[in-house]
Amino acid sequence: MDEKYEKVKEILKKYNQEQLLIWYDKLIEQKKEELLDQILKIDFDQIEELYQETKGKKDFKDCKVEPLSYIDKQKIPTEERERYEKEGIKLIKEGKYAVVTMAGGQGTRLGHNGPKGTFELEVGEKKPLFTLLAQTIKEARDKYDAVIPWYIMTSRENNYKTTEFFKRHNYFDMGEENVKFFIQNELPMIDTQGKILVDEKGMVKEAADGHGGIFEAMRKEGITEEMEKRGIEWIFIAGVDNVLAKMVDPLLTGIAIDKNFLAAGKSVVKNNPKEKVGVFCKKNNKPSVIEYTEITDEMAEKVDENGELLYGESHILCNLFNIKAIEEIAKNKLPYHSAFKKAKYIDKNGVIVVPTEPNAYKFESFIFDAFEKLNDMAILRVKREEEFAPVKNAEGVDSPETASKLYKEYIKNRNK
Ligand code: UTP
């Protein structure tokens, strides 16, 4: 232990991060050991690099940006549509399809105490988001008479509460062997001077590394390997907070197979040019997403000959990947983006600080940065009212109130 402590001290001195041991003496033995291990796992050169990157904004203006073509679900001729669906259904029935729900986020905007998936949405009665998602998967299992394994990505912070929730709900009667969890990676948070924060328990302050962390986490946690063994070929990946996500979609799958793509994504038309959503595009000839913070007003308002927005296909975090694409993407790290957030910490005088303004950088990678690793992908435009009801904010846009309304409306129309 002494040796380990000395080694850690030396590393911290080298990188000027000695504040990380400020609470060390107050910790119990087991926590002391944990803290040292936590520190030894940090890639300090990477943290230094990420800190330098916070100082200059990445510019995408050097890229060639063009619209990405899409297929409008409403406009596919019936015969063609049936052909795609048949292909997709065959694959699902053969047990080659799985669903992954990304539930490792902190859900700070919603402010729910506990994993976001346990948030109860009023849909006639109150139902947790996980229950609503489970219902969608179960309906598909019944419809296609197939086992559809469900994988859930959690974070170190919410893994215990998430897995306990599923245990209590008996894995929604899908069989424990068909519901698997895996924990995503984390990165330390740093202040504006590049110093890594100490959390309120005296440990390194870390945060989940973004939904783009899914590929590395699936590989590291043996999920892709397990999928391979089960014969899974196509994997639908979506967030935990879209209660209308159509996670088992033979049409999307059939299109991807038919067109020989290794990935496919769903889009909904932007409500208006200023809506705060990322949109699909091509960057340097590769599929990509431009975020609303990056797009110029001129680009956002550009229309084609039919008066449709050229950059109007919103990315709704509902994407389908072939397992080969996931394995390929997982070989390299995706870029990290920094976000300036409020983070509680212990300062150099040993005082717990609860900031009222953002004070620290969090680093996240985004799932859509992986699209650029693919040569092309299919985009299917679907109807917003049928597939997109996100729960993001506590109130206002994309809140429980709007999602609940959309969900109830959808069920009413479906049962007509
Ligand atoms: P958001 O970007 O909306 O983040 O994630 P969030 O954590 O839910 O909410 P805020 O921004 O803190 O308010 C979109 C989806 O990606 C998942 C989230 O759980 C959500 O389903 N996600 C996000 C992860 O799984 N891991 C992450 O590190 C970040």
Gap from CA of 298 to ligand 1 centroid (Å): 29
- Under the banding of pLDDT at 50, 70 and 90, the label for residue 37 is very high
Report the nearest atom of ligand 1 relative to the CA of 101: 21
Is 1 a residue whose pLDDT tops 90?
Answer: no
Burial class (CB in 10 A: 0-12, 13-18, 19+), 306: exposed
405 sits in which H/E element: helix 400-414
Q: Tell me the angle at which helices 44-55 and 2-15 cross, rounded to the nearest 10 degrees.
A: 30
Smallest CA separation from ligand 1 atom 23, residue = 105
Distance of CA 158 to the CA centre of its chain: 15
Residue recorded with tokens 């783009």:
212
Gap from CA of 350 to ligand 1 centroid (Å): 31
SS3 letters across 38-92: HHHHCCHHHHHHHHHHHHCCCCCCCCCEECCCCEEHHHCCHHHHHHHHHHHHHHH
Gap from CA of 148 to ligand 1 centroid (Å): 24
Q: What type of residue sits at position 112?
A: H
What are the DSSP E strand ranges found in 113-233? 120-122, 126-128, 150-154, 179-183, 186-188, 190-191, 206-208
Of 112, 326, 318, 339, residue with least CA distance to 210 = 339
CA distance 200 to 198: 7
Of 268, 310, 309, 264, residue with least CA distance to 287 = 264
Report the nearest atom of ligand 1 relative to the CA of 109: 13
Gap from CA of 102 to ligand 1 centroid (Å): 8
| Eight-state DSSP code of residue 367 | G
140 sits in which H/E element: helix 129-144
Report the nearest atom of ligand 1 relative to the CA of 393: 13
Distance of CA 87 to the CA centre of its chain: 28
In 3-state terms, what secondary structure has residue 193?
coil
Gap from CA of 101 to ligand 1 centroid (Å): 11
Smallest CA separation from ligand 1 atom 4, residue = 105
**Report field, pTM of the whole predicted structure over 0.85:** yes
- Under the banding of pLDDT at 50, 70 and 90, the label for residue 393 is very high
Give the model confidence (pLDDT) of 117-164 as tens digits.
999 999 999 999 999 999 999 999 999 999 999 999 999 999 999 999
Residue recorded with tokens 């967030």:
239
Pull the structure tokens for residue 337.
């983006």
In 3-state terms, what secondary structure has residue 378?
strand
Gap from CA of 116 to ligand 1 centroid (Å): 9
| Eight-state DSSP code of residue 7 | H
Give the model confidence (pLDDT) of 46-86 as tens digits.
999 999 999 876 666 678 999 999 999 999 999 999 999 99
Smallest CA separation from ligand 1 atom 28, residue = 210
**CB-based pocket (< 6 A), ligand 1:** 102-109, 116, 153, 184, 208-211, 213, 239-241, 317, 364, 392
